[in-house]
């Protein structure tokens, strides 16, 4: 590990406000995994239906599609820290309500769908602000490492969260999982309250307009690298996402129950963490375009191999490779996006990006459930991996400049990364 890269990472964590934000994000991300595991298992137990498991993904995607563009406008118009504090309170109330209803034995598939939509609604309102606030907490020269560290902590939480959630689900039930999630939102709220650095107040409500929205859409649409990579990410996560199939694999194919379900969720995150940590300490990869294509290729091949597996530990290994490939792609794309976008447009760019990156996996869960009801879980995973490789080939052929893209080091305040128009 190069000493200068290690020093840069440590210097990034020395920024008090970023360290607080990083810690709060970690705890809230752990809590979110408790709810993800509990909901997936609970609805499959209630319905025995792959289609109903997939419907959870659709319930998440609908509010996201409806609100993300508006949330991006809010992130550029308002104080991002204050907006996030409001959403943490709303998320706490939703998770607490879900815990109480489950403990009282009043939960139903409709309850889970409703709670999923509320959680997605409030998460959508905060997501562009969560992504856009990081450049306000660290100097420009530490931004790439800060974004990688943010990804690293998210994947650590996705490793620890599902494993712990599987144990809690097995021994204490779903209500306890939901209560852990509720407490995690309070941790994020406290971290935001302790941040000292003043946040930009934004342009005010006058910036929440169709004109502002068109400005953001025009920027993304006209960017020769950002937009094609958004399309690639959406296609890969829509067809190749097998998270919605985990309860079926755990109970009916691999025969490992709720404890194994937590490990299936965690295994992909373990690969993601290793990839994110490697990028954090190594620093930005110069041939970013080529590495993004390699990452998506690994993701697709590992998904195909997972599809036919009936051996638990081989399945875990393939999911770890899926996570590593996906993370290489997502971190490099995120760095390109943030460094190539002016601060006054970051909220709108992040919201447009989130339509692709967030709705892809959620709609992908719905797609995998529908195909699993038709072809079975293994057929769904297999066709998803093949479709991912096909989309990768189409983008590689039609956008050769993306494949050749090389990120340039930034110097001073002026962005020196190559922007291909």
Q: What is the pLDDT of residues 194-224, one digit of tens each?
A: 988 877 665 555 556 566 667 767 776 756 6
Q: How far apart are CA 172 and CA 186, in angstroms?
A: 22
Q: How far apart are CA 146 and CA 134, in angstroms?
A: 7
pLDDT score recorded for residue 72: 67
> Poorest-confidence range of 7-11, 247-251, 357-361?
7-11
Statement: residue 314 has pLDDT above 90: yes
The more confidently predicted of residues 204 and 321 is 321
Provide the whole-model pTM. 0.62
Q: What is the pLDDT of residues 275-306, one digit of tens each?
A: 877 776 665 556 676 788 888 899 899 999 99
pLDDT score recorded for residue 189: 94
Token output for 6: 């290690």
User: Are 407 and 288 a contacting pair, CB within 8 Å?
Assistant: yes
Average pLDDT value for residue range 324-344: 73
Average pLDDT value for residue range 347-369: 71
Average pLDDT value for residue range 242-265: 85
User: What three-state secondary structure class fits 404?
Assistant: coil
Statement: residue 154 has pLDDT above 50: yes
Q: How far apart are CA 248 and CA 127, in angstroms?
A: 30
Helix 257-282 vs helix 312-339: crossing angle, to nearest 10: 40
Statement: residue 318 has pLDDT above 70: yes
Average pLDDT value for residue range 167-194: 92
The more confidently predicted of residues 370 and 316 is 316
Average pLDDT value for residue range 87-112: 92
Query: 3-class secondary structure for 138-196?
Result: CCHHHHHHHHHHHHHHHHHHHHHHHHHHHHHHHHCCHHHHHHHHHHHHHHHHHHHHHCC
User: Are 350 and 131 a contacting pair, CB within 8 Å?
Assistant: yes
């Amino acid at each position: 590990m190069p000493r200068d890269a290690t020093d840069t990472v440590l210097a990034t964590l020395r920024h008090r406000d970023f360290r607080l934000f990083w810690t709060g994000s970690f705890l809230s991300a752990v809590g979110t995994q408790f709810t993800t595991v509990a909901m997936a298992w609970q609805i499959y137990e209630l319905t025995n239906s792959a289609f109903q498991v997939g419907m959870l993904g659709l319930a998440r995607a609908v509010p996201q599609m409806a609100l993300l563009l508006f949330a991006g406008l809010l992130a550029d118009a308002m104080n991002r820290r204050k907006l996030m504090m409001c959403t943490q309170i709303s998320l706490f109330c939703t998770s607490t309500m879900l815990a109480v209803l489950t403990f009282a034995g009043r939960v139903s598939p409709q309850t889970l769908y409703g709670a999923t939509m509320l959680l997605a609604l409030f998460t959508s309102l905060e997501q562009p602000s969560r992504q856009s606030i990081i450049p306000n907490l660290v100097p420009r020269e530490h931004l790439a490492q800060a974004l990688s560290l943010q990804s690293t902590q998210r994947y650590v939480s996705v490793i620890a969260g599902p494993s712990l959630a599987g144990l809690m689900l097995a021994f204490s039930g779903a209500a306890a999982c939901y209560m852990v999630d509720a407490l995690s939102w309070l941790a994020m709220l406290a971290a935001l309250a302790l941040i000292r650095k003043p946040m930009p107040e934004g342009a005010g409500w006058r910036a929440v307009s169709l004109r502002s929205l068109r400005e953001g859409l025009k920027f993304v649409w006209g960017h020769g690298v950002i937009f094609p990579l958004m399309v690639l990410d959406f296609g890969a996560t829509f067809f190749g996402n097998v998270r919605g199939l985990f309860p079926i694999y755990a109970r009916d194919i691999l025969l490992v129950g709720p404890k194994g379900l937590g490990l299936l969720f965690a295994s992909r995150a373990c690969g993601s963490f290793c990839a994110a940590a490697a990028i954090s300490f190594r620093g930005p990869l110069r041939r970013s375009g080529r590495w993004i294509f390699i990452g998506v290729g690994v993701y697709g091949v590992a998904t195909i191999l997972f599809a036919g597996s009936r051996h638990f530990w081989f399945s875990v290994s393939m999911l770890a490779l899926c996570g590593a490939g996906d993370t290489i792609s997502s971190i490099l794309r995120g760095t390109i996006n943030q460094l190539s976008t002016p601060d006054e447009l970051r909220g709108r760019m992040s919201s447009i990006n989130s339509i692709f990156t967030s709705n892809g996996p959620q709609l992908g869960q719905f797609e995998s459930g529908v195909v699993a009801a038709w072809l079975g879980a293994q057929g769904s995973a297999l066709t998803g991996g093949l479709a991912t490789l096909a989309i990768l080939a189409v983008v590689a052929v039609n956008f050769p400049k993306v494949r050749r893209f090389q990120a340039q080091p930034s110097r001073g305040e002026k962005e020196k990364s190559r922007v291909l128009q």
